[in-house]
Structure 1
Amino acid sequence: MGFGRAMRGGRQGWAATALAGALAGALLGALAGLSPTPAAARLVQADLARVAVAPPPGARARLDLAFTDADEERSTTLAEAAGGRPVLLLPVDYSCGNVCDPMLSLSAAALQATGLAAGRDYAFVLVGLDPRDDAAAARRMLSETLGPAPSPTRPQALVGSTDTVAALTGALGYGFVPDPNTDSIAHPAAAILLTPEGRVARVLSPLALNGRDLRLALIEAGEGRTGTLGDRLALLCYGFDAATGVYTPLVRRILAVAGAATVLGIALLVLLLARAGRVRTT
């Protein structure tokens, strides 16, 4: 309608057209400014290729590394956090708005479903990847994700310096890349299960954990020092599938071995009966 008046002429119509053109140009300019440019490009493929968890043979966390306990705001070490127990270590970005929150909540739920006692049978530890995140950021993440009230599966959140975090992640083969353009960190969605001595026992997916598998993994990492006789028997007939990151029953393998043993037994029995028959005839 306004454009029709402008086309019919008149100063008001041309002024309206000019104003509309100026606003449209400003809007397009603003949208162009929001578009990513080469100077503001995000992480490239070469950077993302370094985001992985690949523990070297015999990988072991340095338990003497010094951190700050976010709740008590005091100095501590990984050895003190472990307390001689297997550790579910979850590297996170305390200011992450993507996958860190569900990783934390799902890990806590899986730990609760194990039936094991926190602080006695295992330790649950978070380590902040971004040294710019202080203790307050860690407490805020815990409160927003798990609630403000203390719970048995509330993890011990640790904050460390750039060098401390680099020393820990380097020893574990945990690769992450900061993205300065988005003020975020590209990191694997992975939890690392440590033995009481700090040795890497398993790399687990916190997004696919369940109580039974995590219980078996913790008992195995603790070298059978926790759990029941039934758990230890289950470890004998369960195997860890590295492809899926969970324990799966080795039913097919057990059936194959049992079937082969049965066939061999039958063959030996037939052979013995045949020999006995020949002896009687002679």
Structure 2
Amino acid sequence: MQPRLSHLLVFGGLVLGSALCVTAQPLDDSVADGIGIEQKLDAQVPLELSFRDETGNMVRLDQLVNDRPVILALAYYECPMLCTQVLNGLLRGLRVVDFDIGQDFDVLTVSIDPGETSALAAGKKREYVGGYGRDGAGSGWHFLTGDQASIDALAESVGFKYEYDAETDNYIHASGIMVLTPEGRIARYLYGIEYSPKDLRLSLVEAAQHKIGNPVDELLL
């Protein structure tokens, strides 16, 4: 029998790797240069930041990131393509992992669009917690929205670089997720839109033990 984690938290703000969100127009070089993920392993996420949860209540990150590892996903809920692919890939991987959201780890998904509402976040939570299908997951998978200052501070702390494209009214970003230690330090980056259960499990185990992983190459999709 495999030992379970004693403490884990998945911080669902999507740390999207190097596949760019599709837009109708080719990207200007200056825009493309500002998109991606700069790995900041062992950096501390600012847990004093406040966001609004899916119920509309204001919460500080230190209320959600404390005694378990975290998978962080930065996304936005009305993304036409890439965010959904990242979240779906994360869901598929987590459904196979033998640790439970809300018990062994937690997930935080954080919108990078300051105009999105708690109602949108609540809809996404129903969709993904329902798809996960395990008791107690609702207490551990949170979908957050926030103001521009809080979003920028969180994105900067984890190296998540994105741009807003006014012409298409979309955010251009990369694809991936990050795993945090219980105290909110960045332990590992996982790139792409599919995450193997083996990689997810190992990342959570190591983060629970406060281990910081090595830099990884970005996977271009």
TM-score category, normalised to shorter length: 0.7 to 0.9
Structure 2 gap segments, 5+ residues each:
1-23
Counterpart for residue 124 of structure 2: 141
Assess if the C-alpha contact under 8 Å between 2:69 and 2:181 holds in 1. yes
Give, in whole Å, the separation in 2 of the partners of 1:82 and 1:124. 9
Assess if the C-alpha contact under 8 Å between 1:55 and 1:171 holds in 2. no
1:112 alignment partner, SS class: helix
Give, in whole Å, the separation in 2 of the partners of 1:57 and 1:117. 25
Q: CA deviation at 1:126?
A: 0.2
Query: Closer, same or farther in 2 for the Cα pair 1:183/1:42, shift >3 Å?
Result: farther
Q: CA deviation at 1:83?
A: 3.3
2:46 alignment partner, SS class: coil
Counterpart for residue 76 of structure 1: 59
Assess if the C-alpha contact under 8 Å between 2:35 and 2:163 holds in 1. yes
Task: Pick one of 115, 119, 143 that aligns with 2:98.
Answer: 115
Q: State yes or no: 1:44 paired with 2:44.
A: no
Query: Closer, same or farther in 2 for the Cα pair 1:57/1:114, shift >3 Å?
Result: closer
Give, in whole Å, the separation in 1 of the partners of 2:125 and 2:103. 21
Task: Pick one of 35, 49, 52 that aligns with 1:65.
Answer: 49
Give, in whole Å, the separation in 2 of the partners of 1:137 and 1:118. 21
1:219 alignment partner, SS class: helix
1:192 alignment partner, SS class: strand
**Structure with higher helix content:** 1
Q: CA deviation at 1:188?
A: 1.2
Assess if the C-alpha contact under 8 Å between 2:100 and 2:134 holds in 1. no
Q: What letter matches 1:65 in structure 2?
A: L
Aligned residues: 192
Give, in whole Å, the separation in 2 of the partners of 1:90 and 1:57. 16
1:191 alignment partner, SS class: strand
Counterpart for residue 182 of structure 1: 168
Task: Pick one of 158, 170, 177 that aligns with 1:172.
Answer: 158
Q: State yes or no: 1:95 paired with 2:69.
A: no
CA deviation map 1:189-211 (0-9, x unaligned): 11011111111111112523111
Identity of aligned residues (%): 27
Q: CA deviation at 1:151?
A: 4.7
Give, in whole Å, the separation in 2 of the partners of 1:241 and 1:174. 15
Query: Closer, same or farther in 2 for the Cα pair 1:107/1:206, shift >3 Å?
Result: farther
Q: State yes or no: 1:126 paired with 2:109.
A: yes
CA deviation map 1:138-190 (0-9, x unaligned): 22334456658975555210111100000111111110101111111011111
Relative to structure 2, which stretch is displaced further, 147-156 or 191-200? 147-156
Instruction: Report the TM-score when normalising by structure 1.
Output: 0.61
Quote the RMSD (CA, aligned, Å).
Answer: 2.7
CA deviation map 1:210-242 (0-9, x unaligned): 1122111100011179xxxxxxxxxxxxx9782
1:131 alignment partner, SS class: coil
Q: Which has the larger radius of gyration?
A: 1
Give, in whole Å, the separation in 2 of the partners of 1:244 and 1:181. 28
Structure 1 gap segments, 5+ residues each:
1-39, 226-238, 246-282
Counterpart for residue 201 of structure 1: 187
1:207 alignment partner, SS class: coil
2:187 alignment partner, SS class: strand
Instruction: Report the TM-score when normalising by structure 2.
Output: 0.77
Give, in whole Å, the separation in 1 of the partners of 2:98 and 2:25. 47
Counterpart for residue 15 of structure 2: none
